Structure 1
Amino acid sequence: MAPPITALITGVGGQDGGYLAERLLADGVEVHALALPGDPPVAGVHTHHGDVADVTGTRALLLDLAPHEIYNLAAVSSVARSWEEPDLVARVNGLAAVGLLESAYQLQERTGRAVRFVQASSAEIFGQPDRSPQDESTPVRPVNPYGAAKAYAHLMVGVYRQRGLPATALILYNHESPRRPIQFVTRKITAGVAAIAAGTETTLRLGNLAAARDWGWAPDVVEAMVLAARADGARDYVVATGESHSVEEFVATAFRCVGIDDWTPYVEVDAALFRPVDAAALCGDSARIRDDLGWAPTVGFEELVRRMVEADRL
C-alpha cells in the first residue's frame, strides 16, 4: 500500500488555511501545519508551532516532514497594517515565501521527486492596473507595502519554476466567508448589520464606500489551490469571479438581507478609515484556470453576502 500524500500548510489559522485543511483531510491527505503559538488547533491536522519568518527553523521542519505538497498561505493579510509595519510585511509576505521556495527546491533535489508548491498571491500586486479585467499578463505594479511584498514572492515563484520546481502562484482576488476576521471590511459590514438588525447597535462606521473589489467565496478559492497543486503542469492563475462590486453595494446587499432597504441612516463614513493609497477597482479574468483546470466559482455575490449576514445573526 502506497504511503499517503502529505501536505504542509502555512497560515492554517486563517480563513483559507482552515478550509484548505478540511478539504485535504477529506481527500485522505496527511496534513501538517505550521502555526503560531496560540492558534487554535484544527481537528485531524498535525500542528507544528513556529514562525514562517524563521527561515532556518521552517526549512528544518520542511526537510524533516518531506511533504509532497506545500501551500504557503501565511501572510500579514491587512493592507492597512502594511502601511504601519512595512518591514514586518516584507519579511513575512515576501522573504519568508522565498525561504519556503528554496526549502521546497532543496527537498526536491534531495528526494528526486516533485514537490508541488502553491503560493497565495494577491490581486494587490496589480495596484493601479492598465486594464480591466486583469489577467496573468497584467503588469505588476503595486501601490502599497502589502502588494509590493506579495509581488516579490509572486515573481520568485516564476524564478523557481524556471529552476524546475513545480510552483504556481494563484493571484487571489478578495474572497470571503463567515470565517473572515472582524477587522476585514466585509465581516465588519455583516457583523454590524446583524447587530443593527438585533437592536444592539445603531451605526456602522466605514471608510471608502466607492472602493470596488471582485469578491468570491473562500471555499471556491481553496478548491482552486488543490486543483493547481495537482495539475499536470505548473503555471500562474488568476482566481476571480469576473464581477466587481463596490463596498456600497456590499453594504446595501447586507442591509437588504435583514429587511432594511434604506441603509443610509445607519452608515457613517469616517475619513480616518481611508487608506493612504487604495488600489483601483479590481476585477479578475479567470479564463485560464477555467480552461486549464475546469475551475469555476459556485457562489455568487448576493448569496455570499447573505451567508455571511445569516452566520452573524446566529
Structure 2
Amino acid sequence: MPRAFITGVSGQDGSYLAERLLSEGYEVHALAYSSEPSPSCPGVVLHRGDLTDIDRVRSLLVEIGPDEIYNLAAISSVARSWQEPDLTARVNGLAAVGLLESALQAQEATGTAVRFVQASSAEIFGEPASSPQNEDTPLRPVNPYGAAKAYAHLMTGVYRGRGLHAASAILYNHESPRRPPQFVTRKITSGAASIARGEADAITLGNLDARRDWGWAPDFVDAMVRAARADEATDYVVATGEGRTVRDFVVAAFRYAGISDWERHVRVDPALVRPADPSDLTGDATLARELLGWHPSVSFDEIVGRMVEADLTRA
C-alpha cells in the first residue's frame, strides 16, 4: 500500500487531498498542530506536532517512509503575514526547507524514492511586469507571505538538483465551499447569503479592483497529485488563465443570491487594503496542460455559485 504524508491537512486543499488519496487506497499520514481540528475525513493517521520542529518531523518521516509528501501547511493569509512576518518566514520558508531535507534523508534511509510537492503561490511573482505569468516570470514578492514562499520555491529547485523528485506547484487563487471564512471570497459569499436572508444589510471589503485568477480547489489538488507522479519533477503554474477582479466576484455572488443592487450592500474600507497588493495575478498553465494533462474543469461563475449555495444551505 503506498503511503503519503500531508502537512496542512485540516485546510481546504489538505482535506480534498486526503480524501483523494484515501479513495486511491493510500495510507495517509498527516501532521497537524495540537490546536488544529482533526481532519473531517476518517482514515487519516494523524500526528500532532509543529512543522517548525524540524528534528521531530524528520524522525517522523524516516519512521513512516512515505512515497509522496505534500507540503500544504503555511501561514495562508497575506494580511496575517504583515502582522507576523517572522512567524511567516519560519513556517512558510524555513520549515518548508526543513521538510525538503527530511524528505531527502528519508529517501536515503529507506532506499525508496520520495516524491515531494511544495504548494507554492502566485504571490512569489509580486507585482509582475507582464500578465499572464508562467514558470519563467521573475520572482518579485511584495509581501512577507510571498517572500517566504519564494524562498521555499527556490529551495525546491535546489533539492531537485540533489536527487529529490521535488515539484513546486505555483498555485493561483482557488476556492470552494471549504474556504475558511476569513478569506475575502468566503466573506463575500457568506455575506451575500446573509443579506439575501435578511440577516445583514452590508459587507465591508478592501480593494475591489485587485485582479486574481480564481480556480476550483479540487482541480488544483489534482494538479499537485499529477505533479507528484510525473516522470520528471519541475515547477508548474496552476491557474485558469482568466483574471477577474474582486468586484467581479462580488457581482457574481450577489447575482447568484438573487440581489441585483449589490452596490447598496458593499462598503469599502481603506483600512482593509493591504500595504502592497499585486494588481494583476493571472497565470499561464500551458506547461501543466502539456506535461501533466491537467486542465481546470469548473468555470468562475460555477465556483462562485457553488460557494453561495453552500452558504445559503449552511444557514
- TM-score (ref. length: structure 2): 0.98
Shift of 1:111: 2.0
- What are the Cα deviations for residues 148-171 of structure 1, in whole angstroms up to 9, with x where unaligned? 000000000000001110000000
> Matched residues in 1 for 2:279 and 2:168: separation?
21
1:176 aligns with 2:175: yes
> Matched residues in 1 for 2:2 and 2:296: separation?
26
> Matched residues in 1 for 2:265 and 2:129: separation?
36
Name the residue aligned to 2:240.
241
The letter of the residue matching 2:66 is: P
> Matched residues in 2 for 1:226 and 1:27: separation?
11
The letter of the residue matching 1:149 is: A
1:157-168 correspondence to structure 2 within 5 Å: 157-168=156-167
Name the residue aligned to 2:252.
253
- Classify the secondary structure of the residue corresponding to 1:146: helix
Shift of 1:40: 2.5
Name the residue aligned to 1:304.
303
1:208 aligns with 2:207: yes
CA RMSD in angstroms, aligned pairs only: 0.7
> Matched residues in 1 for 2:211 and 2:143: separation?
16
- What are the Cα deviations for residues 23-56 of structure 1, in whole angstroms up to 9, with x where unaligned? 0001000000001113232311000000101111
Name the residue aligned to 1:41.
38
1:18 aligns with 2:10: no
- What are the Cα deviations for residues 125-156 of structure 1, in whole angstroms up to 9, with x where unaligned? 00011211000000011000000000000000
Shift of 1:201: 0.3
The letter of the residue matching 1:117 is: F
- Percent of counterpart pairs with the same letter? 67
Name the residue aligned to 2:82.
83
- Classify the secondary structure of the residue corresponding to 1:70: strand
The letter of the residue matching 2:20 is: R
- Classify the secondary structure of the residue corresponding to 1:136: coil
Name the residue aligned to 1:6.
3
The letter of the residue matching 1:153 is: A
Instruction: List 4+ stretches of structure 1 deviating above 6 A.
Output: none
Shift of 1:284: 0.2
- Classify the secondary structure of the residue corresponding to 1:139: coil
- Classify the secondary structure of the residue corresponding to 1:53: coil
Decide whether the 8 Å contact of 2:62 with 2:110 is kept in 1.
no
The letter of the residue matching 1:210 is: D
1:72 aligns with 2:67: no
Shift of 1:113: 2.0
The letter of the residue matching 1:272 is: A
1:54 aligns with 2:53: yes
- What are the Cα deviations for residues 176-214 of structure 1, in whole angstroms up to 9, with x where unaligned? 001101110000000000000000000110000001100
> Matched residues in 2 for 1:111 and 1:312: separation?
46
Q: Unpaired segments of 5 or more residues in structure 1?
A: none
> Matched residues in 2 for 1:249 and 1:63: separation?
47
The letter of the residue matching 2:21 is: L
